Structure 1
Amino acid sequence: MKVTTTSIRRRSSVLVVGAAIAATVLTLGGGAQAASPAPSLAGLKVLLTNDDSARGLDAGFGTDGKGLYELRKALCAAGADVLVVAPWSQQSGAGARMTTPGFSPVPLTVQAVNVPAAYAGDCSSSSTAGAVFGVCTTAGPCSSSVPSASPADAVNIALSRFAKTYWSDGPDLVLSGTNFGQNVGSTLNHSGTVGAAVTAREYGVPAIAFSAEVPRDLAQIPNVPFAATATFAVDLIAKAVKYKMLKPGLVLNVNHPFIGAGETLGKPVFTVAGSSNDIGLTFNGDVPKTGGTYQLSAGTPAAETKQNADTTALAANKIPITALDGDWSKSAPGLLMLALMGK
């Protein structure tokens, strides 16, 4: 019972810290855009990653890293020292998948990325000069024709080796995002954005995953709130620094809502991961016993069954903040323990 008790205490402390951070940002009101003066993150060493790739090839819609560059811009403007190590190519839905060597070593190449022109000068004054790297699973060079590393790979290689070439004692924080699309409910189990943050926990580095909601009206996709999410992220991190809440084991998942015409941005709220997934993946078509092809598409999400769920908060245009323990273990029911022990 000693291990189980320790696990429970650790989980409880993480949740308490997460709740405390959420409580401190309630004063930010409608998403922190009106906060003044601008918060400072001077000296904070931030490793930034995502699952939308490091290259930012799709500058218009954001499906290939625009959210990362908007977050990088806001962090550097607030004085943070930012190093980007992210997948070479889009890795949505990768979860916490990691490349494994099998019976022989596997090469992983960390390759410098040309920063999109609109963001080129954002971090020039920091010690890293805002360096951006993509990671692929080949001996190099990385290209669109070679396999990309996963978000977890990027964090793993950065925290175990590469980040030390820039900081001898960092980073202080790992950020993952801003993701193109929300990561709430059961989607968390499969999110590459969240998987990267959970991987940071294995190294004892606090981590926060940020996602921006994609509207169901596809014509509004160019208006995904990357800039607003980045502004909120800086305010949230500044609060966490001020109250000394960036501690090992802390993993937060934050989702910023899309605000349509006539809608109002709600306040940040502390939530739990919901049971629905906000996507409603559907396999269409009939396949005989001999096999065949289904068509996978987004459908109607299942009704949410949990109280205080992140899915419900996001649907109400609030900003859900969910503390994750990054630990899948759970205390076994007493009767099950006795049965397995043969008593």
Structure 2
Amino acid sequence: MRSVPSIPASIPMVRRLAAVGLTLVAALAGSVASAPVTGAAPVEAAASAAPALAGLKVVLTNDDSARGLDAGFGTDGKGLYELRRALCNAGADVLVVAPWAQQSGAGARMTSPGFSPIAITVQAVTPPAAYAGDCGAASTGGAVFGVCVAVAPCTSTSPSASPADAVNVALSRFAANYWSDGPDVVLSGTNFGQNIGTTLNHSGTVGAVVTAHEYGVAAIAFSAEVPRDLAQIPNVPFTATANFAVRLLGSLVKWDALTSDLVLNVNHPFVGPGETIGRAVKADVGYSNDLGLSFIDNVPATGGTYRLTVGAPVAETRRNADTTALARNDIPITALDGDWGRSMPIQIALLIASLR
């Protein structure tokens, strides 16, 4: 395993991850590296080899919607259903509460009622036919719900709740219909596309786990890398990511590390033809925007229209970044504090104290 730089001991969750998680990541690194993957459609070790998750209560959400409408590329919830299948096969008890419609880029946005109540509907969703038989043995029956911002029923034109909304309603009210003591963990994903670097600040997938953190529930976001070669997009590694998620969860349970302050972000690489998967590594959130978002066209001072496009990623300047780890086909795991806080420099603290 690559050497890992020291991390601030002032953050309790990060300190625990340092004590427990580095051993965990080392173990996972061995399990991934021992099963090299080549070709356009990576296939990892079978989920049956993963530690059992019997009885683990999981609220599963995403930002790609609960309905799984895109059966081709999987942009609309295929990753969620692959993860649901792997979890249930490993014995987990899964309840899906996810946005009604696509919510990529929603961050941690939450619906506000203003001066009067606003309708939030949690509506049962029939899983896509390919996943209809999954999770029948769970106490939840593998129930799947979509959440819209409307009076029931949710329809094709109903505004969707955000990922944060879905977690908010699940943890504050709805999940209690299934478990009196709440879930053990909230999982978000598997997202269609990586969430690394500064993209984390705007990710609905990550926004969901940050919201779970507000409730004191362990939370992990999972994303699968989308290749830049458009011909390979049908091969986004949803199954490989789901299998890895089961192994990671099994190890966290074994190490008693599913604690209330645990917030992790996991990205699984796309392994192209002739490439080999790397290993699980502890990484830091990078400074680069992996999407390389940029505006084109010129607009005069009187206003006008720009076009937003995806370009080349911004060069990464941070050591041990998740962006560079994913680029070399490793599986970066980053620990988030969940509150966007940081230690204040003493000079700024003194300046504030001097204000009148």
TM-score (norm: length of structure 1): 0.95
Contact 1:14 1:323 in 2 (8 A): no
User: What amino acid is the match of 1:208?
Assistant: I
Q: Does 1:106 align with 2:106?
A: no
Match runs of 1:14-53 below 5 Å: 14-16=16-18, 17-30=20-33, 33-34=44-45, 37-53=49-65
User: What amino acid is the match of 2:164?
Assistant: A
Whole-angstrom distance in 1 between the partners of 2:22 and 2:297: 44
Whole-angstrom distance in 2 between the partners of 1:240 and 1:26: 14
Shift of 1:253: 0.4
Structure 2: stretches of 5+ with no match in the other structure: 1-8, 36-43
Spell out, residue by residue over 1:50-100, the C-alpha distance to the aligned partner (whole angstroms, 9 max, x if none).
000000000111100000000000000111000000000000000000011
Show the counterpart of 1:150: 162
Whole-angstrom distance in 1 between the partners of 2:50 and 2:349: 53
Q: Does 1:116 align with 2:119?
A: no
Spell out, residue by residue over 1:87-128, the C-alpha distance to the aligned partner (whole angstroms, 9 max, x if none).
000000000000111100011000000110000011011111
Whole-angstrom distance in 1 between the partners of 2:289 and 2:301: 29
Structure 1: stretches of 5+ with no match in the other structure: 1-6
Shift of 1:339: 1.7
Whole-angstrom distance in 2 between the partners of 1:189 and 1:78: 32
Show the counterpart of 1:220: 232
Cα distance, 1:31–1:103 mapped onto 2, change above 3 Å = farther
Contact 1:18 1:250 in 2 (8 A): no
User: What amino acid is the match of 2:127?
Assistant: V
Contact 1:31 1:266 in 2 (8 A): no
User: What amino acid is the match of 1:23?
Assistant: A
Show the counterpart of 1:135: 147
Whole-angstrom distance in 1 between the partners of 2:196 and 2:322: 6
2:322 aligned residue (302, 307, 310): 310
Secondary structure, counterpart of 2:281 in structure 1: strand
Secondary structure, counterpart of 1:29 in structure 2: helix
TM-score (norm: length of structure 2): 0.92
User: What amino acid is the match of 1:28?
Assistant: S
Task: Name the % identity.
Answer: 69
Q: CA RMSD in A?
A: 1.5
Contact 2:236 2:270 in 1 (8 A): yes
Match runs of 1:1-343 below 5 Å: 8-16=10-18, 17-30=20-33, 33-34=44-45, 37-342=49-354
Cα distance, 1:308–1:77 mapped onto 2, change above 3 Å = same
Paired residue total: 337
Shift of 1:202: 0.8
Contact 1:21 1:245 in 2 (8 A): no
Shift of 1:30: 3.0
Spell out, residue by residue over 1:101-156, the C-alpha distance to the aligned partner (whole angstroms, 9 max, x if none).
11000110000001100000110111111000000001121112111000000000
